[in-house]
């Protein structure tokens, strides 16, 4: 059983995601709440990192980013609000600054399932960036 609240499980997940060429690391979202994340848009990098595949999408983000709230971000993330571990997206909309989240977080039971879910979301990242960050 994979548990997001278990530091050893999070460490193993980070290692596996990095082995699959994803820039994964642990992130503390406040208090004692830890997540494994893979940033799609990360305002804390200098310059801001944008991990979209579509060149036009990257250009659109770059053209509008100066008008967005400073904390605009979008991460693939683990969480443990409803189960031992679920994976989805969380962030802050560039359009209006409101929190955004994928509508469904997928419950996972194993390290292999977690890696596959991160990879599935990563593969569809442009669609998620458009839906949550630009339209959110």
- Res 33: pLDDT: 85
* DSSP letters spanning 72-89: -EEEEEEE-SSSS-EEEE
- Res 76: pLDDT: 97
* 109-129: pLDDT as tens digits: 999 999 999 999 999 999 999
* CA dihedral sign, ordered 125, 126, 127, 130: positive
As a whole number of angstroms, the distance between CA 34 and CA 31 comes to 9
Global pTM reads: 0.92
* 55-79: pLDDT as tens digits: 999 999 988 888 888 788 999 999 9
Alpha-carbon Rg for the chain, nearest whole angstrom, is: 14
């Amino acid at each position: 059983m994979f548990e997001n609240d278990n530091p050893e499980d999070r460490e193993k997940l980070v290692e596996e995601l990095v082995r699959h060429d994803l820039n994964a690391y642990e992130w503390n979202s406040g208090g004692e709440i830890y997540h494994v994340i893979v940033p799609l848009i990360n305002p804390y990098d200098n310059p801001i990192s944008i991990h979209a595949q579509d060149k036009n999408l990257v250009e659109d983000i770059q053209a509008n980013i100066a008008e967005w709230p400073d904390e605009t971000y979008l991460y693939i993330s683990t969480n443990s609000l409803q189960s031992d571990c679920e994976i989805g997206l969380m962030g802050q909309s560039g359009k209006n600054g409101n929190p955004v989240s994928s509508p469904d977080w997928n419950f996972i039971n194993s390290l292999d399932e977690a890696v596959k879910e991160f990879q599935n979301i990563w593969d569809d990242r442009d669609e998620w960036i458009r839906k949550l960050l630009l339209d959110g």
